[in-house]
Structure 1
Amino acid sequence: MFNLIRRDAILQKRQILIIIPLIVIFIIMDKHPSFTFLIASIIIPFNTFAYDEKVETNILLNSLPYTRMEIIASRYIGAIVYMIASIGVTSLALFIFKKPFTMTDIAIAISLFLLFVSFTFPLFYIFKQGYISMVIFISFILLAAIGPAIVSFLAEHLTAITDFITNLSIPTLYIGVTLVIMVCYFISWGITTVIYQRKAF
């Protein structure tokens, strides 16, 4: 299974080199650190899916001595591995450029990344190949554009929930958010595994 993760890294070696200049551009543009962490984390996992769409890699993968469960596990574990590596590189770049960032910025980026993965990874096996990359791209743009407005709207109109959240202690809030994200991630993992096991290649 870990050979599959290594395979993705080898295939994406050129894209890995693109990440660093992209991070530098976002830093120079003075983008929020959380946004920079998020973009850096997303590139490799989602570009891997885009590459696989073009060359129909799933046919090849299913001819190798790996179970379909292992193939999906490599996607979800690999996403976390690449996220950690991307955050490390981004942290170093921010430090070099003397741009301040906090652990909260990293936590926000990780949370958004894991949630985005949870909702989008199953889509790669539901929609017809060749279209899903565009669907994910449009979804990300829409999320970035209307996400803050939706959060503000809900905060204003669902006051009972807002009051409940604001009354929670910081540790309780962090633990609660972490548990919710982990549950979403593992549910997504399970759903994707079931979908992939039932697909015909």
Structure 2
Amino acid sequence: MFHLIKRDVILQKKQLLIFIPFILFFIFMDVHPVLTFLVASVFIPFNTYAYDEKAETNILLNSLPYTRNEIIASRYLGAVFYMVIAMGLTSAAFFSFGKLFSITDIALSSGLFLLFAACTFPLFYILKPGYITTVVLIGFILLSAMGPPVVFYLAEQFSGITDFIMNLSIPIIYTGSTVLIMLLYLLSWGLSTAIYQRKVF
């Protein structure tokens, strides 16, 4: 399974050359650190899915000595692995140029990435090839642009729930959010595995 994760880097050698300039652009434009970390995390996993969609790699993968469970596991574990690497490189870039960020920025962007991945990864096994990358890209843009206003609107409409959450301690909020996101990620993993097991290539 490690070789499947390593394959993503080998296939994306050229795209990875764009990664650092891409992130530096966000830093120089003073984009909020949360969005910068989020974009950095999305870069490799979703490029891999986009590449596989065009090349119909699933046919090749299923001819190799890997089970379908291992193929899906490599996607989900690989996404977490590359997220950690992306966070590290982005943090180093922030430090190098004297830009401020906090551990909270990293925590929020990690949570948003895992939540976005949990919602979109199964789509790559549900939707027909040729449409998936477009749907995911539009979804990411909508999440980035409309997410905060929607959250603020819901917070105003459901003030009782908002007040309850605001009265909780910070550790409880972070722990609860972490557990919820991890559960959603695991549920997404299970859903993708179930769908992939039934697909015919």
Task: Write the distance in 2 (CA, Å) between the matches of 1:31 and 1:141.
Answer: 14
**Within-5 A mapping of 1:17-36:** 17-36=17-36
Q: Residue 143 of structure 1: CA displacement? A: 1.1
Q: Which amino acid aligns with 2:180?
A: V
Q: Residue 141 of structure 1: CA displacement? A: 1.1
| Matched residue, 1:50 | 50
Q: Residue 33 of structure 1: CA displacement? A: 0.8
| Matched residue, 1:14 | 14
Q: Which amino acid aligns with 1:20?
A: I
Range 6-15 or range 187-196, more displaced = 6-15
Q: Residue 145 of structure 1: CA displacement? A: 1.6
| Matched residue, 1:175 | 175
| Matched residue, 1:197 | 197
Equivalent position SS for 2:99 = coil
Cα offsets for 1:139-190 (capped at 9, x unmatched): 1111112111110111000011101100000001110000000000000000
Task: Write the distance in 2 (CA, Å) between the matches of 1:88 and 1:3.
Answer: 22
Q: Which amino acid aligns with 1:134?
A: T
| Matched residue, 2:90 | 90
Cα offsets for 1:33-79 (capped at 9, x unmatched): 11111001101100100000111100000000000000000000000
Runs of 4+ more than 2 Å apart: none
* Percent of aligned pairs with the same amino acid: 64
Task: Write the distance in 2 (CA, Å) between the matches of 1:112 and 1:147.
Answer: 10
| Matched residue, 2:63 | 63
Task: Write the distance in 1 (CA, Å) between the matches of 2:87 and 2:109.
Answer: 9
Q: Residue 17 of structure 1: CA displacement? A: 1.6
For the pair 1:102 / 2:102, whether they are aligned, the reply is yes
Superposition TM-score, scaled by structure 2 size = 0.99
Equivalent position SS for 1:99 = coil
Q: Which amino acid aligns with 1:150?
A: V
Task: Write the distance in 2 (CA, Å) between the matches of 1:194 and 1:147.
Answer: 29
Equivalent position SS for 1:6 = helix
Structure 1 unmatched ranges of 5 or more? none
Q: Which amino acid aligns with 1:187?
A: L
Task: Write the distance in 1 (CA, Å) between the matches of 2:13 and 2:82.
Answer: 12
Task: Write the distance in 2 (CA, Å) between the matches of 1:123 and 1:27.
Answer: 31
| Matched residue, 2:127 | 127
Structure 2 unmatched ranges of 5 or more? none
Equivalenced residues, count: 201
For the pair 1:146 / 2:143, whether they are aligned, the reply is no
Q: Residue 91 of structure 1: CA displacement? A: 0.3
Cα offsets for 1:82-140 (capped at 9, x unmatched): 10000010000000000011100000110000000000000000000111000001111
Equivalent position SS for 2:30 = coil
Superposition TM-score, scaled by structure 1 size = 0.99
Q: Which amino acid aligns with 1:92?
A: A
> Over aligned residue pairs, what C-alpha RMSD do you find?
0.6
